[in-house]
């Protein structure tokens, strides 16, 4: 089957009350359009066509990793008009699946089932039963045959009896290019909004004795649309609860799952403990036996086996080795790579730094643009002075170095293997292996001093 997918994303989203295009609002850390594109890609279509309006053309650059054919709907004249902008560019007699960019929870397995349902039909409509159907088009079935849709009535056009119907149109339609071109060609804008409704093709198809069938989605949450910030919040909550449920079922221990937020793609190993008030953002991998303590943020990072991230710590764009202890109140900034059994303690900041195994920096330290060897002890208050006001410079600390508290290393500098730096030293020059460095003013005592 040659499948062409059309994603409608041209709506202005006025009810969002935002300068951000509606489809660029995020659910679970990804834009709504990206969610739909990921789902569409899993169906392995021949083409993915996205319809936008000219005022949001700049969103294209956010989706370069997807193979998308973009189409501009010149004027927002309704959903039928939006589909009509794409159809002439698609081959005849090929299948078409119409999706919406504001349904971010849509599931490709549901769509596969939908497309394979009653293959003899001309048009298929995906529907959902909603407790509060306000705002949705209502599905009006044939009284004599439940498996035939007679018409879809938009909320603004529905009478009181029709508004009581709780089976709603999701907007998702499956047909073929030739049938859609014929049906859409007969759609009129004789309605209160003077728009060309795609849903009108159902009644037109019935007049032509073409079979229109519905598939009722059992999980209505998967097809919910987002038109305002209230619906965006509800969709976010559904997404988060689904993620939490999946991880709990996989055996992840979460002490308060409702306070754990997933804003990206997260993979979690076995026997992992996650405390309260945690945010995972971007691509995160947690190995086995990892412990993430409360009030911690992990972004685009890998945390390897048996490592503990203590409370109030931030790890971003970095790799943390196995059996490490990070925090509390530690900040691992981007481009750090820590090997196994590294200790980064309270109020320690690390940036663009590689740290070899068994090295410890337990408190009140800044390590930036550095290469640090194994078995290094870094005392409290140590600073790698990497910035001269114009350029960043590198500090290299080799194996088995001991750096006393309150020392400053003025980069660029190399501290050779086995060096000991006395507390309170400011080191400006490279040193010999196994040497003792003392670089501080001699203490002076003035007896009988009066202020």
Q: Catalytic site residues?
A: 363
Question: How would DSSP label each residue in 376-394?
Answer: -EE-TT-EEE-B-SS-B--
Burial 259-298 (b: 16+ CB within 10 A, else e): bbbbbbebebbeebebbbbbbbbbebbbbebbbbbbbbbb
Q: Strand 370-372 relative to strand 354-355: parallel, antiparallel, unpaired?
A: parallel
Question: How would DSSP label each residue in 312-328?
Answer: S-EEESEEE-TT-EE-S
Closest to 299 in 3D by CA, of 288, 289, 314: 314
CA distances in angstroms from 264 to 56, 284, 285, 287, listed in the order given: 24, 8, 11, 17
The packing angle between helices 177-184 and 200-207, to 10°, is 100
Closest to 229 in 3D by CA, of 130, 102, 39, 106: 102
DSSP 54: G
Cα(346)–Cα(293) distance, integer angstroms: 14
Please calculate the CA angle 268-232-243 and round it to the nearest 5 degrees: 15
Which residues contact residue 122 at a Cβ distance below 8 angstroms, ignoring those fewer than 6 apart? 175, 179, 205, 210, 211, 212
Please calculate the CA angle 103-142-96 and round it to the nearest 5 degrees: 40
Cα(413)–Cα(406) distance, integer angstroms: 17
Cα(144)–Cα(121) distance, integer angstroms: 17
* Residue pair 50/71 in contact by the 8 Å Cβ criterion: yes
């Amino acid at each position: 089957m040659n499948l062409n997918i059309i994603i409608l994303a041209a709506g202005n989203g006025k009810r969002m009350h935002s300068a951000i295009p509606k489809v660029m609002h995020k659910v679970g850390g990804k834009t709504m359009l990206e969610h739909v594109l990921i789902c569409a890609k899993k169906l392995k279509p021949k083409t993915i066509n996205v319809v936008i309006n000219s005022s949001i053309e700049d969103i294209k650059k956010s989706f370069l990793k997807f193979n998308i054919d973009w189409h501009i709907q010149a004027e927002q004249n309704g959903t039928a008009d939006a589909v009509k902008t794409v159809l002439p560019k698609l081959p005849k007699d090929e299948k078409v699946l119409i999706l919406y960019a504001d349904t971010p929870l849509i599931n490709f397995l549901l769509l596969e089932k939908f497309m394979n349902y009653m293959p003899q039909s001309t048009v298929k409509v995906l529907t959902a039963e909603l407790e509060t159907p306000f705002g949705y088009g209502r599905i009006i079935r044939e009284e004599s045959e439940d498996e035939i849709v007679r018409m879809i009535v938009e909320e603004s056009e529905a009478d009181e009896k029709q508004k009581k119907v709780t089976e709603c149109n999701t907007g998702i339609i499956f047909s073929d290019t030739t049938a859609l071109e014929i049906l859409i060609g007969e759609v009129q804008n004789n309605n209160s909004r003077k728009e060309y409704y795609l849903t009108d093709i159902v009644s037109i198809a019935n007049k032509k004795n073409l079979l229109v069938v519905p598939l009722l989605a059992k999980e209505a949450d998967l097809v919910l649309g987002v038109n305002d910030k209230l619906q965006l919040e509800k969709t976010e909550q559904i997404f988060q609860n689904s993620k939490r449920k999946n991880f709990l079922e996989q055996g992840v221990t979460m002490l308060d799952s409702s306070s754990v937020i997933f804003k990206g793609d997260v993979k979690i190993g076995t026997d992992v403990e996650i405390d309260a008030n945690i945010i995972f953002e971007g691509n995160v991998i947690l190995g086995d036996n990892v412990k993430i303590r409360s009030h911690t943020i992990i972004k685009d990072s890998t945390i390897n086996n048996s490592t503990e991230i203590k409370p109030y710590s931030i790890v971003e764009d970095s790799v943390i080795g196995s059996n490490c202890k990070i925090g509390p109140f530690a900040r691992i900034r981007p481009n750090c790579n820590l090997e196994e059994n590294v200790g980064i303690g309270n109020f320690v900041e690390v940036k663009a730094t590689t740290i070899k195994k068994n090295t410890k920096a337990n408190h009140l330290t800044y390590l930036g643009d550095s290469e640090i060897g194994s078995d290094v002890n870094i005392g409290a208050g140590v600073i790698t002075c990497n910035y001269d006001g114009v350029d960043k410079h590198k500090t290299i600390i080799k194996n088995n170095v001991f750096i006393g508290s309150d020392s400053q290393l003025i980069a660029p500098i190399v501290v050779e293997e086995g060096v000991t730096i006395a507390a309170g030293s400011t080191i400006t020059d490279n040193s010999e292996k196994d040497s003792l460095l003392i670089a501080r003013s001699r203490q002076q005592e003035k007896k009988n001093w009066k202020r």
